[in-house]
């Protein structure tokens, strides 16, 4: 894990993970928005993303990208950047 490209991603190192479950299908920002609108899922936090200054979740250009920074419905979604 890590990178030699950016100082905040250093040092490159090995990470050990405990066993975990992963869903078979990704949930897109648009699909998660439907869940929020139906009041079944919480609004995602307004997380910082240096790659998406207008917001990752609310940017219409990213509607079909996997949702990130959220969890719910008995599952957790990965953090993304």
Question: What local confidence, expressed as pLDDT, does residue 47 receive?
Answer: 54
Lowest mean pLDDT among 4-8, 23-27, 39-43: 23-27
Per-residue confidence band for 79, with pLDDT thresholds at 50, 70 and 90: very low
Cβ(70)–Cβ(42) under 8 Å?
yes
Per-residue confidence band for 75, with pLDDT thresholds at 50, 70 and 90: low
Question: What local confidence, expressed as pLDDT, does residue 35 receive?
Answer: 85
Structure-block tokens of residue 35: 């869940």
Mean pLDDT of 28-33: 88
What range defines the domain where residue 55 resides?
1-81
Structural domains counted in the chain: 1
């Amino acid at each position: 894990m890590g990178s030699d490209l950016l100082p905040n991603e250093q040092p490159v190192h090995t990470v050990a993970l405990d066993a975990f479950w992963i869903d078979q299908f990704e949930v897109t920002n648009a699909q998660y928005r439907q869940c929020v609108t139906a009041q079944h899922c919480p609004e995602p936090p307004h997380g910082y993303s240096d790659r998406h200054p207008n917001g990752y979740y609310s940017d219409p250009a990213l509607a079909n990208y996997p949702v990130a920074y959220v969890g719910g419905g008995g599952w957790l979604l990965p953090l993304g950047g």
